[in-house]
Amino acid sequence: MPRLSSATDLERFRQEILARRDPNKPCVTICSGTGCHAYGSEKVSQAFTKEIQRNGLQEKVDIRRTGCHGFCERGTIVVIFPEEICYLRVKPDDVSAIVSTTLVENKMVDRLLYEDGNGQKIVHEGEIPFYKHQSRVVFGENRLIDPKSIDDYIALGGYNALAKALFEMTPEQVLEEVKKANLRGRGGGGFPTGRKWETTRNAPGEIKYVIVNADEGDPGAYMDRSLLEGNPLSVLEGLIIGAYAIGSHQGFVYVRQEYPLAVENLNVALKQARDYGLLGQNILGSGFDFDVEVHRGAGAFVSGESSALMTAIEGRVGEPRPKYIRTAVSGIWERPSNLNNVETWATVPLIINKGAEWFTSIGTEGSKGTKIFSLVGKVNNTGLVEVPMGMTLREIIFDIGGGIPQGKKFKAVQTGGPSGGVIPEKFLDLPIDFDELTKAGSMMGSGGMIVMDEDTCMVDIARYFLNFLAEESCGKCIPCREGIYQMLKILNRICEGKGEEGDIELLKEISEVVRDASLCALGQTAPNPVLSTIKYFRDEYESHIEEKRCPALACKALISYYIEPEKCQACLICLRNCPVEAITGGKNIIHVINQDKCTKCGTCLEVCPPRFGAVTTLSGVKVPEPVLVGTEVIRKRGEGK
């Protein structure tokens, strides 16, 4: 193992690695991120090792287990280099076909390729629409490197930026470059990173800390996990550069408990970096000392808030405190502490390597660079997408995401995590950046993007997020603890058909108090889902309250399932599948749902054959009474009349 003690050493070592590697030698890369791991990538990987040996190809083909590629729903993802042949949904049983067909015969296994809407097969990863429209500058290396191999990272130019910072730039110059790049924090508010670094740097006190926020508590968001899991050294390199600029010698990575693979890969990365002389005392022989400690979070959303996170690192309960003095000045143990998000740190080496000018050439006036979003919900292609700031929602949802499944209508997109807001269809052409999203009543947050179709009830969505926030509120301040709870109570009753006149105004009134009087940004932003849904979908609230009707047919208390007698073929399918035996009827007798027994699970709707389409969902109207012939429900069409 080399001990790298100068920039020249690093470069020489990189050249040695590259000389050992033949870029034309086939390399089978198997995604081993959490998503693909859940699909069984471990077994796929073992199958490749076995099958390659069985075919006597071990000297001719390399195997590499990489980080997340972003298209997790199609896991396990296998890409064969140098052609970048991309196979999706690979199972261990597919491996022998891949080896014999692609590696031996140089042909494609068609059934494992991506198929576009026109039945066209796409061979190369970069040509799949999900990837084609992205700009993967921060996330791109995930698919190329084994996160447990520092050599892979170095081979791709890893630690170049650190060497440049340490040997060619003063800390002030590094700081100026980041300020010039106008990098804004990717973890929430979009605060200018350089300015925050400067505050910590200039704050009094010898001991200063730098921290990675990998708490990532937003439901549906997993970009930080995938970066930390797939390319931990890029985050670490950014952190060391930041520490150098700020004058810090101790860092922390705060990772949520639920991310075991990220912690495992991070710990491997830290050990390798220390062994190579890239972390610890006298980094790269520069005289700069810096080391990092990993702190496991306890799974509370509020612990991602800066002051709460720092309190947790101190070993106390992770609750926020009033920030009359910012954590950048007085954070962990009252020492200046600079906190940045995983993605923010991972962007830093790129800025140092390629320069602020390159970075500012991407993005919009106020938001530079790219942003990774976690695109989920009612969209055909879900996954992690990295796009330049300023790309429109339409491009993300329709070009990359492939539109809405089953030809349904797009209704809204929720951005910014639980405290974000919903954005309706009229804003589909909004170029997304920090400021535009805020203007539209939502926010960038950490990059969650939940797509909703016509079947989504907007009151129910507000209720879902408020429920999350009510559970996650630490309870320290009254406006947040009581205000969110009261808002949730109102939303619950509206969804249950017990909404009252004046509820909308009451929600708005409480929202104002919670927003203005809460201690931390959890409470301050909690009204966003309520206010934005009221702003753009007020008619849905009114329907629930005034007509006791849920237009999206989603709120259980306001809907009924009904079997249309004209369409029912008395096929017995719904009757047999109803878990509570709420359906009566017989072989030739039209089926009827007993509304008193029905639990509204929707099974009848799901199982009724589409060619009959006899089960419908009603809301705001009385369910028609069954037609009786004598004492029996009407017989099958034509027979009972």
Ligand X SMILES: Cc1cc2nc3c(=O)[nH]c(=O)nc-3n(C[C@H](O)[C@H](O)[C@H](O)COP(=O)(O)O)c2cc1C
For residue 549, give Cα distances in angstroms to 466, 508, 541, 603, 640.
21, 21, 9, 21, 34
Of the ranges 112-120, 181-189, 262-270, 586-594, which one interacts with ligand X (CB under 6 A)? 181-189
Of the ranges 66-74, 181-189, 259-267, 329-337, which one interacts with ligand FES (CB under 6 A)? 66-74
Of the ranges 33-41, 302-310, 331-339, 607-615, which one interacts with ligand FES (CB under 6 A)? 33-41
Helices (H) and strands (E) in the chain, counts: 24, 21
Backbone φ, ψ for residue 415 (5° rounding): -120, 160
Residue 191 C-beta: closest distance to ligand X, Å: 5
Helix (H, G, I), strand (E, B) or coil at 506: helix
CB 87 within 8 A of CB 109: yes
Residue 274 C-beta: closest distance to ligand X, Å: 25
Binding partner of residue 533 among ligand FES, ligand X, none, CB under 5 to 8 Å per kind?
none
CB 296 within 8 A of CB 263: yes
Of the ranges 49-57, 260-268, 301-309, 495-503, which one interacts with ligand X (CB under 6 A)? 301-309
CB 33 within 8 A of CB 76: no
367 binds ligand X (CB under 6 A): no
36 binds ligand FES (CB under 6 A): yes
Binding partner of residue 212 among ligand X, ligand FES, none, CB under 5 to 8 Å per kind?
none
Q: What sections of 276-373 are H helices per DSSP?
A: 306-313, 342-354, 356-360
285's CB contacts (< 8 A; 6+ apart) are 4, 5, 6, 9, 277
CB 338 within 8 A of CB 332: no
- Nearer residue to ligand X within complex by CB, 185 or 497: 185
One of 10, 28, 31, 155 touching ligand FES (CB under 6 A): 31
One of 302, 389, 461, 589 touching ligand X (CB under 6 A): 302
Which among 307, 299, 303, 228 is positioned nearest to 268, based on CA atoms? 228
CA 594 to chain CA centroid, nearest Å: 42
300 binds ligand FES (CB under 6 A): no
CB 39 within 8 A of CB 69: no
List the x/- string, 313-352, binding to ligand X by CB under 6 A: --------------------------xxx--x--------
Q: Which residues pair with 392 in a beta bridge?
A: 431
Residue 540 C-beta: closest distance to ligand FES, Å: 34
* Residue whose C-beta lies closest to ligand FES: 33
165 binds ligand FES (CB under 6 A): no
CB 268 within 8 A of CB 148: yes
Residue 94 C-beta: closest distance to ligand FES, Å: 15
One of 4, 44, 77, 348 touching ligand FES (CB under 6 A): 77
72 binds ligand FES (CB under 6 A): yes
For residue 245, give Cα distances in angstroms to 200, 284, 318, 358.
10, 16, 28, 20
485-497 b/e (C-beta count within 10 Å ≥ 16 → b):
bbbbebbebbbeb
Near ligand FES in 175-194, by CB under 6 A: none
Binding partner of residue 75 among ligand X, ligand FES, none, CB under 5 to 8 Å per kind?
ligand FES
29 binds ligand X (CB under 6 A): no
One of 304, 388, 420, 421 touching ligand X (CB under 6 A): 304
Binding partner of residue 186 among ligand X, ligand FES, none, CB under 5 to 8 Å per kind?
ligand X
d(C-alpha 62, C-alpha 237), whole Å: 27
Q: What sections of 157-259 are H helices per DSSP?
A: 160-168, 171-181, 193-202, 223-230, 232-246
- Nearer residue to ligand X within complex by CB, 167 or 191: 191
- Nearer residue to ligand X within complex by CB, 213 or 603: 213
522 binds ligand FES (CB under 6 A): no
Give, for 115, the enclosing helix (H) or strand (E).
strand 114-115
Binding partner of residue 68 among ligand FES, ligand X, none, CB under 5 to 8 Å per kind?
ligand FES
Of the ranges 72-80, 430-438, 511-519, 595-603, which one interacts with ligand FES (CB under 6 A)? 72-80
Binding partner of residue 213 among ligand X, ligand FES, none, CB under 5 to 8 Å per kind?
ligand X
One of 35, 75, 185, 441 touching ligand X (CB under 6 A): 185
List the x/- string, 201-230, binding to ligand X by CB under 6 A: ------------x-xxx-------------
CB 283 within 8 A of CB 166: yes
β-strands 250-255, 291-296: how paired? parallel
187 binds ligand X (CB under 6 A): yes
d(C-alpha 412, C-alpha 432), whole Å: 14
d(C-alpha 371, C-alpha 284), whole Å: 31
191 binds ligand X (CB under 6 A): yes
Point out which residues bind ligand X (CB under 6 A). 185-189, 191, 213, 215-217, 301-302, 304-306, 339-341, 344, 446, 520-522
Point out which residues bind ligand FES (CB under 6 A). 31, 33-36, 68-72, 75, 77
